[in-house]
C-alpha cells in the first residue's frame, strides 16, 4: 500500500470547480470538516489565483490547486467554427450580445501559474485537460508538491504515469462539468466510475482519487471499495452555503423542468456534463471540438444569460447525482459523505 496521497482525516475531496462555485470559503469549510479541498486555478488571473491560495493557506493544513493544461490550438477547422458562430447568432441576439466569429486561443496563463506555484509551493497540484511535459511535473515535485493528473481511461493513466505524476484523479463520465478527456474531440467512454477505477488500477500502480457521479455515501463507499484512496465530489457541493454558484444555477439544480444531464461540447468545444436545457438541445450536434475557442466564442453570451437569469442558455454543469445536491453548510455534506 502506498503512502496516503492526500493528508486529510476524511477521504472526501472537494473537487476544483472553476467559473465561480469553488471559493476560499468553500475550501475552508471542507477542510474544517476534515475533507481535502482544491482551489480552481482555471480562468483565474494569476494574481487572483495567488490571492486565493494565500487566503486559504492559513485556514487549511492540507489543500490542493488545479490547473488547466493548455490545449493544442492548431487544429480548429475555420469553416466549422464560422458555421457554429453563425448558428449561435440568434442566441446572442436574444440576449443583446454580439459574437466574435474569430477563433481566440489562450493557454490560461499556464506558465505564469506554474511559476507562482514554484515560487510559493502548495501541497498538491492537480492537472486537467491533458498532460504537461515531464519537466513541468518534475519542477513541481522538486519544490515538494505532489502532482496529480486527471484521467478518464487506462491509456491516459499510462501516459500520466510516464510523465512522472504521484497519483491520478480518475474521472468517470458521470462527472459534472468538463470532462478531463485528453483529446477534446472524443467523448469519455460510458462506464461507471467504480469500474473505471478498477480498470485503471489494473494497468497503473499509482494511488487514485475517484470522481464522477457521486450521489451519496453509498457511492463513496463503492469507490473506496474499488480501490480509490479518496473520493472527489463537485456537484454535491454546488448548492452549499459557501459555494459561489450563481442564483440562476442554484435554482436550476432543483427545478423539476430539468430532468437529466448530458455530455455536450455546445458551450466550450470540450465535452462537459450539464443539465439538458434549450441551448444544449439546439446545438449539441453542431459544436466543433475546438477548446478554448468555443469557450471564448460563447463566453459573452453565457455571461449575459447569467445576468438575465436565463437558465435556458446557461452552461449548467452538473453530474448525474445533481438531484441529491443539498443546501446548507458544506461541512455537513462532507461529513455525511464520509459517514461520520
Ligand X SMILES: Cc1cc2nc3c(=O)[nH]c(=O)nc-3n(C[C@H](O)[C@H](O)[C@H](O)COP(=O)(O)O)c2cc1C
Most distant CA atoms of the chain, gap in Å: 57
Q: How many CA atoms lie within 13 A of 27 on its CB side?
A: 28
Helix or strand holding residue 319 (H, E): none
Q: What's the min distance (Å) between Cβ of 192 and ligand X?
A: 12
Cell digits for 49?
Answer: 489565483
Q: What's the min distance (Å) between Cβ of 67 and ligand X?
A: 8
- The residues of the shown chain that bind ligand X, judged by CB under 6 A, are 15-19, 21, 40, 42, 66, 128, 150, 171, 174-178, 211-214, 232-236, 317, 319, 321
Number of Cβ atoms within 10 Å of the Cβ of 272: 24
Q: Which is nearer to ligand X, 176 or 269 (CB)?
A: 176
Q: Which is nearer to ligand X, 81 or 264 (CB)?
A: 264
At CB < 8 A and 24+ separation, what contacts does 83-86 make?
83/286, 84/283, 84/286, 84/287, 84/288, 84/294, 84/297, 85/297
Nearest to 273 by CA among 176, 143, 141, 138: 176
Q: What's the min distance (Å) between Cβ of 77 and ligand X?
A: 26
Q: Which is nearer to ligand X, 201 or 273 (CB)?
A: 273
Q: What's the min distance (Å) between Cβ of 20 and ligand X?
A: 8
Phi and psi at residue 149, to the nearest 5°: -110, 140
**Please, which residues have CB within 8 angstroms of residue 93's CB and are 6 or more apart in sequence?**
none
CA–CA dist 9, 42 (Å, integer): 27
Q: Which is nearer to ligand X, 21 or 184 (CB)?
A: 21
Q: Which is nearer to ligand X, 103 or 234 (CB)?
A: 234
Q: Which is nearer to ligand X, 210 or 293 (CB)?
A: 210
Q: What's the min distance (Å) between Cβ of 221 and ligand X?
A: 15
CA–CA dist 50, 115 (Å, integer): 11
Q: What's the min distance (Å) between Cβ of 194 and ligand X?
A: 13
Amino acid at each position: 500500500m502506498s503512502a496516503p496521497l492526500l493528508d486529510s482525516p476524511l477521504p472526501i475531496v472537494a473537487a476544483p470547480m472553476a467559473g465561480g462555485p469553488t471559493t476560499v470559503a468553500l475550501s475552508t469549510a471542507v477542510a474544517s470538516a476534515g475533507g481535502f479541498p482544491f482551489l480552481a486555478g482555471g480562468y483565474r488571473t494569476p494574481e487572483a489565483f495567488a490571492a486565493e491560495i494565500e487566503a486559504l493557506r492559513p485556514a487549511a493544513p492540507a489543500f490542493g490547486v488545479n490547473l488547466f493544461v493548455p490545449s493544442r490550438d492548431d487544429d480548429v477547422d475555420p469553416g466549422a467554427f464560422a458555421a457554429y458562430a453563425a448558428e449561435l447568432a440568434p442566441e446572442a441576439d436574444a440576449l443583446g450580445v454580439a459574437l466574435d466569429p474569430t477563433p481566440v486561443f489562450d493557454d490560461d496563463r499556464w506558465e505564469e501559474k506554474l511559476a507562482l506555484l514554484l515560487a510559493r509551493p502548495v501541497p498538491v497540484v492537480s492537472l486537467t485537460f491533458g498532460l504537461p511535459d515531464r519537466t513541468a511535473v518534475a519542477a513541481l515535485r522538486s519544490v515538494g508538491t505532489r502532482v496529480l493528473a486527471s484521467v478518464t481511461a487506462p491509456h491516459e493513466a499510462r501516459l500520466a504515469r510516464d510523465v512522472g505524476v504521484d497519483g491520478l484523479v480518475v474521472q468517470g463520465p458521470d462527472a459534472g462539468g468538463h470532462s478531463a478527456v485528453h483529446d477534446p474531440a472524443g467523448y469519455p467512454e460510458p462506464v461507471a466510475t467504480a469500474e473505471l477505477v478498477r480498470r485503471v488500477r489494473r494497468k497503473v500502480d499509482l494511488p487514485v482519487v475517484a470522481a464522477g457521479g457521486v450521489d451519496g455515501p453509498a457511492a463513496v463507499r463503492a469507490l473506496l471499495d474499488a480501490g480509490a484512496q479518496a473520493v472527489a465530489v463537485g456537484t454535491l457541493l454546488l448548492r452549499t452555503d459557501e459555494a459561489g454558484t450563481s442564483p440562476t444555477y442554484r435554482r436550476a439544480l432543483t427545478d423539476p423542468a430539468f430532468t437529466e444531464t448530458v455530455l455536450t461540447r455546445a458551450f466550450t468545444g470540450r465535452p462537459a456534463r450539464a443539465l439538458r436545457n434549450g441551448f444544449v438541445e439546439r446545438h449539441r450536434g453542431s459544436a466543433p471540438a475546438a477548446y478554448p475557442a468555443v469557450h471564448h466564442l460563447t463566453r459573452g453570451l453565457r455571461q449575459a444569460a447569467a445576468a438575465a437569469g436565463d437558465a435556458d442558455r446557461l452552461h449548467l454543469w452538473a453530474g448525474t447525482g445533481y438531484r441529491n445536491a443539498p443546501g446548507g453548510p458544506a461541512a455537513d455534506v462532507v461529513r455525511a459523505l464520509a459517514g461520520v
